[in-house]
Amino acid sequence: MPMDTTAAARIASAPGPRSARRVVLRVATALLGGYAFAWGFIAATAATLFAAGMGFHDAEFLASALGLLGFVAVFLWAIATPRPVRFAAGLVATALAMSALASTVQAVLA
């Protein structure tokens, strides 16, 4: 019995193990990269706001609220980007730069 061409097209376009790995890698990049970005952002923002004269707990709360929004934005961007490896490298570089900024500001305050 000959196979219907539409059924053959559906079978050929079904996701395989490679696409499942890509999805897992994108989600892992989104979660881990988003966490690293948010952590660096919160640390840098809280330290900078405190250095600018804002109360510590106010600066910490504002930085955390903005960091949560940043995490969501980075998560969605990581899922949608056409080049996840380049995006992940950018996230790591950005997180390291913000962490270094936070460490520098804290060292100056001490």
Domain membership flag for residue 87: yes
pLDDT the model gives residue 67: 96
Domain membership flag for residue 5: no
Residue of higher predicted confidence among 12 and 64: 64
Q: For 72-90, what is each residue's pLDDT tens digit?
A: 999 999 999 888 889 989 9
pLDDT the model gives residue 85: 86
Domain membership flag for residue 77: yes
Count of domains for the chain: 1
Contact 75, 109 (CB under 8 A): no
Domain membership flag for residue 10: no
Q: What is the dihedral of CA 70, 72, 74, 75, to 10 degrees?
A: 160
pLDDT the model gives residue 110: 79
CA-CA distance, 9 to 49, in Å (whole number)? 57
Q: For 3-61, what is each residue's pLDDT tens digit?
A: 556 665 665 566 667 788 888 889 998 999 999 999 999 999 999 999 999 999 999 99
Cβ-proximal residues to 78 (8 Å cutoff; 6+ apart), any chain: 26, 29, 30, 33, 34, 84, 87, 88, 91
Contact 79, 25 (CB under 8 A): no
**By residue range, what is the domain housing residue 85?**
24-109
Contact 61, 2 (CB under 8 A): no
Domain membership flag for residue 85: yes
Cα distances from 101 to residues 34, 59, 83, 97, in angstroms, run 18, 16, 27, 6
Domain membership flag for residue 9: no
Domain membership flag for residue 6: no
Domain membership flag for residue 11: no
